[in-house]
Amino acid sequence: MGALLTPALGTVVWASIAFLVVLFVLRRFAWGPILSALNEREESIAGALNEAEKVRKEMEELAASNENQLKEARAERDRMLREAREMADQLVADAKNTAREAADKEVAAAKDAIAIERKAAVAELKAEVGNLSLEIAERLLREKLESNDEQKALVNRLIDESPLN
């Protein structure tokens, strides 16, 4: 029992010497290199992780900018298509208008011409009728109307002869 509670001189001496020697040996040749190796590795791992995170962010940014560019390009294309379509529509509409106007003008001109022709024809007809009437009247007067029948026949003949259609 006493042996349990009394530190034995020899044990204390051996323990002191052996433990201190091992402590110094390990401190110099083991713990220093081990701890610094662990630190270095941890730092390099942390560095690598940071690097990876940075690269990931860059990639994200790149992807985002690509996306933007793509969007812009698409918008540009849409805009161009729309403009082209508008322009084409415009052109077609313009052409239609022009054609219609031209046609209207033609029609109007034709109508005018017809109206003028008609007026002229009517005027000519009127003059012709007047002349014919005068001729008829002249002949009537010249043949001295011998009988009524002759007169009537004459009138009818004259009418038949007249180019009245």
Partner 1 sequence: MTRFFSSFKALLAALLLLSGTALLAQDHGHADEHDAHAEHAEHDAHAHSAEHCDADTDHSHEGDHNGEAHDHESHADYAHGDHTHDEEFVAGTFIIHHIADAHEIHLFGDVHIPLPVILYIEGQGVKVFMSSAFEGHGHGNKTCELDGIAYTMHAEDGTTGDGTPVVSGQITAAADGSALTVYDFSITKSVFGMLLILAAMVWMFLSIAGYYKKNPGQAPKGMANALEPLIIFVRDEIAKPSIGDKADKFMPFLLTVFFFIFFCNLLGLVPFLGGFNITGTIGVTVVLATLVFFLTNLNGNKHYWGHIFWPHGVPLPVKFILVPIEVFSIIMKPAVLMIRLTANISAGHIIILAFTSLIFIFGDGGQAIGAGSGMGLFSTAFMIFMYFLELLVAFLQAFVFTLLAAIYFGDATHDPAHH
Binding site for partner 1 (CB under 8 A): 1-16, 18-20, 22-23, 25-27, 29-35, 37-38, 40-41, 44
CB of 49 to partner 1, least distance (A): 14
CB-wise, 27 or 79, nearer to partner 1? 27
Distance CA 117, CA 123 (A): 10
User: Which of residues 11 and 65 has its CB atom nearest to partner 1 in the complex?
Assistant: 11
Distance CA 80, CA 86 (A): 10
The CB-of-52 to partner 1 minimum distance in angstroms stands at: 16
Q: Residue 4 has which token pair?
A: 């349990």
Give least dist CB 51 to partner 1, A.
14
Q: Tell me, what DSSP letter sits at residue 29?
A: I
Between CA 33 and CA 64, with CA 51 as vertex, the angle to 5 degrees is 170
CB of 6 to partner 1, least distance (A): 6
By beta-carbon proximity to partner 1, the closer residue of 22 and 122 is 22
- Read out DSSP for 88-131? HHHHHHHHHHHHHHHHHHHHHHHHHHHHHHHHHHHHHHHHHHHH
For residues 29 and 130, which CB has a smaller minimum distance to partner 1 in the complex?
A: 29
